[in-house]
Amino acid sequence: MINIVENTLRDGSYVIDFQFDKKQTADITRGLAGLGFTYIEVGHGLGLGAWGKSEVGLSKENDVSYIRAAKEAAPEAEITAFFIPGIGTMQDIDLAVEAGLSFLRVGTNVDTFEKAAPFVEYGRKKGLKVAVNLMKSYGVKSYEFTQIVQEIEQWQTADVIYLVDSAGCMMPHEVYEYIARTKERISTHLGFHGHNNLSLAVANSLQAIQAGASFIDTCVRGMGRSAGNAQTEIFIYLLQKMGISPLETNIYDFYNFANEHIVPLMPRHQGLTDEEIHIGISRFHSSYMPLATLIAESYGVDSKQLIKRVSDINCINPDEQLFKLIASELNPE
């Protein structure tokens, strides 16, 4: 089974200088749960304990406030938090558990993975599901990554071990190689967290799935550190098209959610707009967009539904008559 860890409220916090407030956290968590997500990560981008450290950027709320707001908004969701040894402490984990945390993801650089061990063990003792995120995984060769993962598996405490493309520099074939060769040698679940610096975050996430990863991180509108992350709405649509999506949510619901809750918060452009995505989904040539917009406005219908219906019939040379026919069917009044 594929598990999506929705990261907008954590990795996306970098984009707004860690200034999500309690209401935004609750509203976005509620919306994500309504879209079907089980795992929702919240809090400061650098994880538990970072909220009050000025040297890494003060957040609007503390860890407990974020976790409680999320848990109250979506009681059935698995609320997740990141954790970096040296920034967070075991006391931070205690407070997070009391607030309702379900899933702890301990991140270290791939060459200092041993630092994660005591915190992974502690998280398990506290009843949490625990992951190890091997940040900057590309800094080692694929066979070295496999050896590291095998050693972590011997701890017998990690539920998931992540390949992390922190710089968004990995190629799809590299992601496949790292995951596939490791999957052959372990039984622990593997995950992938990718950034979009080479516009490959979605492609790399798909390759990770094909290679055997079962946990993938995504963000709505790609909202995340640097160039952002794999874009949730695109990734889910592609999984649906492949017949392997854990969510059956309609793409229009993703558009509405993103435009209501995420886009207004973003100070700079990341990811693709709903119009750009929908053109691809619909196989619709953008040269016909002025005509589609004019007809949609004239008939009072949704332009996205119009172009999808029209393109399903004729994606090469749709004429004005076809647009009007479909528009009249969408709004028979």
Q: Do the two domains 3-272 and 276-330 of this chain adopt the same fold?
A: no
Report how far residue 20's alpha carbon sits from residue 86's, in angstroms, rounded to the nearest whole number.
23
Question: How high is the pLDDT of residue 332?
Answer: 76
pLDDT tens track for 118-128: 999 999 999 99
Contact 3, 162 (CB under 8 A): no
Q: Which CATH class is domain 276-330?
A: mainly alpha
The DSSP secondary-structure symbol of 2 reads -
- Which pLDDT score is estimated for 259? 97
pLDDT at 64: 98
Q: What is the pLDDT of residues 68-88, one digit of tens each?
A: 999 999 999 999 999 999 999
Residue spans per domain, the chain: 3-272, 276-330
Six token digits for residue 47: 């994880």
Six token digits for residue 243: 């017949």
CA distance 245 to 97: 30
Q: How do residues 219-261 score in pLDDT, each as one tens digit?
A: 999 999 999 999 999 999 999 999 999 999 999 999 999 999 9
In tens, the pLDDT along 311-325 reads: 999 999 999 999 999
Architecture field, domain 3-272 = Alpha-Beta Barrel (3.20)
pLDDT of residue 30 exceeding 80: yes
- The model carries a pTM of 0.96
| Arithmetic mean of pLDDT over the chain | 97
